[in-house]
Structure 1
Amino acid sequence: MKIADLDRLKIHYTDEGDPDGAPIVFANSLGTDLRLWDKLVPLLPAGLRIIRYDKRGHGLSEGTPAPYSMGTLISDVEALLDHLGVKDALFVGLSIGGMIGQGLAVKRLDLVRALVISNSAAKMGTAEMWHDRIAKCRAEGVGSIAAPTMERWFGKKFRATPELAAWQTMLARQDLEGYTGCCAAIAGTDFYTPTSGLRLPCLGIAGTEDGASPPDLVRETVDLVPGSRLELIRGAGHLPCVETPEEYARILSDFIKETGHVQ
């Protein structure tokens, strides 16, 4: 268990693989922790330095009172990567993690040499939708939204498996301040203009059954970056690295090799 005791926050992270390898950084979705990538990590090419972290108010990272701004969440991972001496990473962000990745690439291109926008977009939902969710969670608890969220997170096939209960429990136990703080960050974010200025290798990944970030929304964002492309995973929802880790690993591994991140 590793904790980066930064001036701004204590962040829980893992640092695995080859310590001298090309770095790949994973940022997970709203309401999950770094276990989101557990099935994927063993399937990645050898020779990578694999860094995962829990964002503010999630997992084992420190929480602070809501609301948060997206700039704060971006500065958190920026400080972590500076702390770890990471440069030129391939950044894989899913959902809110994909928004953090876009913002970090705009702010610190020395940290991000290639970007994966997975099940994410430059703008997700409306401010009103997010504020309604915040109000419900504050009135009834995060657990009140856990069951319906599973419909958006996972495809039909996965929802029939016993594993679904674990993900529903993870969300239900999520810290209220961390969850609503990140909801507020998403509500206040529109990255269409800054993301359109990015010039770096970029891959989009979408699930055909994703109710939170449908494929057309992901495509619209990825198309902002010249030379990018979108990969669709059939039958998967919002968390395809959980539902179809082998397919996700194949797509990601191809991109890693295409960008020369590993030979």
Structure 2
Amino acid sequence: MRVADLNDLKIHYTDEGDPNGTPIVFANSLGTDLRLWDKIVPMLPSGLRIIRYDKRGHGLTQATPGPYKMGTLVNDLERLLDHLEVRDCLLVGLSIGGMIAQGLAVKRMDQVRAVVLSNTGAKIGTPQMWDERIAAVHAGGIEALADAVMERWFSAAFRKTDEFHAWRNMLVRQPAEGYAGCSAAISGTDFYTPTSGLRLPALGIAGSEDGSTPPDLVRETVDLVPGSKFELIRGAGHLPCVEKPEEYARILNGFIADTGHV
């Protein structure tokens, strides 16, 4: 178990693969921890230094009082990568992790050389929608939202599997303060202008059954970056790396090869 002490925040992370390899960094979605990528890591090519982390208020990372701002979450990852002396990484972000990826790519071109914007957007939802979810969490905990969230996260077929229940448990066991804090960060974020200024290899990945960030939103976001690519995974919801890991890994590994990252 590895924890980076950044003075005001202790971040839980993993650092696997080749310690001298080219770095790939994964940023998770709202309501999940770094186990989100468990199925993908074994299918990555050799020669990579693989870094995952739990964002503020999630998993085993410290939960500070909310609400959070997106700039704070971007700064958390920036400081973690500086702590680990990471430069020129391929940054894979899903949902809020994709927003963090956009923000860091704009801020630190020395840290990020390519991005995967998975099941995300330059702007997600409306402030009113997020205010309602935050109020529901404060009133009844994450459990109050869990069933509705699961319908957006996963296809109907996956919701019938035994594995589905483990993901629901992951969601409801996240700190309520962290979930609400990160929800506030999403609510206040509009990256359309800064993301349109990015000039680096970019790949968008969407799930056809995604009820949180529909394919059109993902495509619209990645299209802001000239020369970007877009891939649709059919039959998957908001977390295609969970539902369709082989297809997700195939797409990701193709991008890794195309960008010469290994």
**2:219 aligned counterpart, secondary structure:** helix
User: What are the equivalent positions in structure 2 for 1:83-232 lying under 5 Å apart?
Assistant: 83-232=83-232
**Partner amino acid, structure 2, of 1:261:** H
Structure 2 length normalisation: TM-score? 0.99
**Partner amino acid, structure 2, of 1:41:** V
> RMSD value over aligned CA atoms?
0.5
Query: Percent identity, aligned pairs only?
Result: 73
Check whether the contact 1:116–1:203 (CA below 8 A) recurs between aligned residues: yes
> Which residue of the partner structure matches residue 64 of structure 2?
64
In structure 2, what is the Cα distance between the partners aligned to 1:140 and 1:8? 29
In structure 2, what is the Cα distance between the partners aligned to 1:37 and 1:229? 21
Check whether the contact 1:241–1:248 (CA below 8 A) recurs between aligned residues: yes
Deviation per CA, 1:39-62: give whole Å up to 9, x if none: 110001111000000000000001
User: How many residues end up aligned between the 2 structures?
Assistant: 262
The alpha carbon displacement at 1:155 in A equals: 1.0
**1:117 aligned counterpart, secondary structure:** strand
> Which residue of the partner structure matches residue 32 of structure 1?
32
In structure 2, what is the Cα distance between the partners aligned to 1:8 and 1:261? 33
Structure 1 residue runs of 5 or longer lacking an equivalent are: none
**Partner amino acid, structure 2, of 1:154:** F
> Which residue of the partner structure matches residue 10 of structure 1?
10
Check whether the contact 1:101–1:117 (CA below 8 A) recurs between aligned residues: yes
Check whether the contact 1:118–1:206 (CA below 8 A) recurs between aligned residues: yes
Decide which moves more: 182-191 or 155-164. 155-164
In structure 2, what is the Cα distance between the partners aligned to 1:141 and 1:253? 38
In structure 1, what is the Cα distance between the partners aligned to 2:73 and 2:199? 22
In structure 2, what is the Cα distance between the partners aligned to 1:246 and 1:183? 30
Deviation per CA, 1:114-170: give whole Å up to 9, x if none: 000000000000011001000011011111111111100001221110111111111
Structure 1 length normalisation: TM-score? 0.99
User: What are the equivalent positions in structure 2 for 1:242-253 lying under 5 Å apart?
Assistant: 242-253=242-253
The alpha carbon displacement at 1:174 in A equals: 1.4
Runs of 4+, deviation exceeding 4 Å: none
In structure 1, what is the Cα distance between the partners aligned to 2:57 and 2:137? 15
**Partner amino acid, structure 2, of 1:229:** K
**Partner amino acid, structure 2, of 1:189:** T
**1:81 aligned counterpart, secondary structure:** helix
In structure 1, what is the Cα distance between the partners aligned to 2:104 and 2:122? 13
Check whether the contact 1:8–1:76 (CA below 8 A) recurs between aligned residues: no
The alpha carbon displacement at 1:214 in A equals: 0.2
Structure 2 residue runs of 5 or longer lacking an equivalent are: none
The alpha carbon displacement at 1:8 in A equals: 2.7
In structure 1, what is the Cα distance between the partners aligned to 2:66 and 2:166? 26
**Partner amino acid, structure 1, of 2:217:** L
